[in-house]
Each structure stands twice: as structure tokens, then as C-alpha cells.
Amino acid sequence: MLDFSRINWLDDKGRVKTPKFLYLVLVFLAKGWCVFLMSLTQAGQRDGLVKLFYPLKSDFVSALATGAIAVFIYGLIVFERKGTLAWIYPLFHKIRWLLFASIFMEVVLIYFRLLHTDFVFHWVKGLEVLGVFWCFLYVFKSQHLGVYLKNDYEPKEESGAS
């Protein structure tokens, strides 16, 4: 019997849509950048907002460095969808490895944050570990992500008839 359950993965042009959970993974991995953007909106309490999420400045800078890979991946996804830059396509197929690198950096960051607190359990750190686990599991096992990254769509040069 034919399986048509994956037909909703395709867009109007027949290309595989970007998985929605991939966007959630990228937001989770770039949470340092999200805190940074939120702090820009608070004129008087920038330091207080950043210290609420990252008590140590080194943790915040490490989160920005870890999140830079996720921001780069998001840029790759946007430019691939627009089809404007040809050099994107060889990098686009390496997104899964970039995600694994970012997840590994997040694990190292969580380890050092736990080290700073002498491995005392806190529910926020537990949720971070759970989030990293789910991100790893998604990147490792997702069929939709695998099909999306194997998508060999490259824009064709359109010849304008004059």
C-alpha cells in the first residue's frame, strides 16, 4: 500500500519544507542570542535581565558563542529557501554536523555551569539537559530532517526572453 503521510512535507514547488521542529531546536541552541535580543529591548535593566538567565558573564559569552552556530544555520536555511547564493548548497548538506557540533558545545557549556554550582541540582539545569537530549534525539533520528537536508534543489538560471 502507498504511504501518503509524508506528502505534507512538500511545498507548492515540490521541495521539502523546512521542519518546524528544526526551528525550535535552533531557538533552543541560540537561547543566548534570544536573551541578548531581549536585553536590547530593556533600556534600564539590561544587566539585570542577562544576569537573570546567566549569572556569570563567562556563561553568557559562551552561550553567545554556542548560539552563533545556530544563527549561522538559520541564515543558511533562509538563503537556501530564497535560492540567492550558490555557495550555500555545499554547506547546506552539512547542517546536521553543524547541529551536532552546536549540541556538543551546549553539553560542554552545561557541564561547566554545573561545575560552577558544584553539581547541585536545579530544575532549570535539568530542563536544559532534557532539551539538549531532545535536540540530539531529533537531529539523530528525524526522517523529515534527513529528507530535507538531502533535498538537491538548486535554482535554475531563468532565461529572460527579450
List alpha helices for the chain, DSSP H: 20-29, 31-41, 46-53, 57-82, 88-92, 95-116, 123-141, 143-149
Is 159 within a domain?
A: no
Is 92 within a domain?
A: yes
d(CA 25, CA 70): 9
Instruction: Give the pLDDT of residue 101.
Output: 93
Instruction: Give the pLDDT of residue 15.
Output: 76
Is 34 within a domain?
A: yes
Return the C-alpha cell found at 135.
535536540
Q: Which residues are within 8 A (CB) of 9 and not within 5 positions of it... i.e. 6 or more apart?
A: 16, 17, 144, 147, 148
The pLDDT of 62-66, averaged and rounded, is 90
Q: Which domain holds residue 23?
A: 15-149
Q: Whose CA is closest to 139, among 39, 50, 5, 24?
A: 24
The pLDDT of 138-150, averaged and rounded, is 87
Is 4 within a domain?
A: no
Residue 130, number of CB atoms within 10 A of its CB: 10
Is 39 within a domain?
A: yes
Q: What is the pLDDT of residues 101-131, one digit of tens each?
A: 999 999 998 898 888 888 888 888 889 999 9
How many structural domains comprise the chain? Answer: 1
Is 156 within a domain?
A: no
The phi and psi torsions of 155 (rounded to 5 degrees) equal: -65, 140
Q: How confident is the model at residue 157 (pLDDT cuts 50, 70, 90)?
A: low
For residues 37 and 78, is the Cβ–Cβ distance under 8 A?
A: no
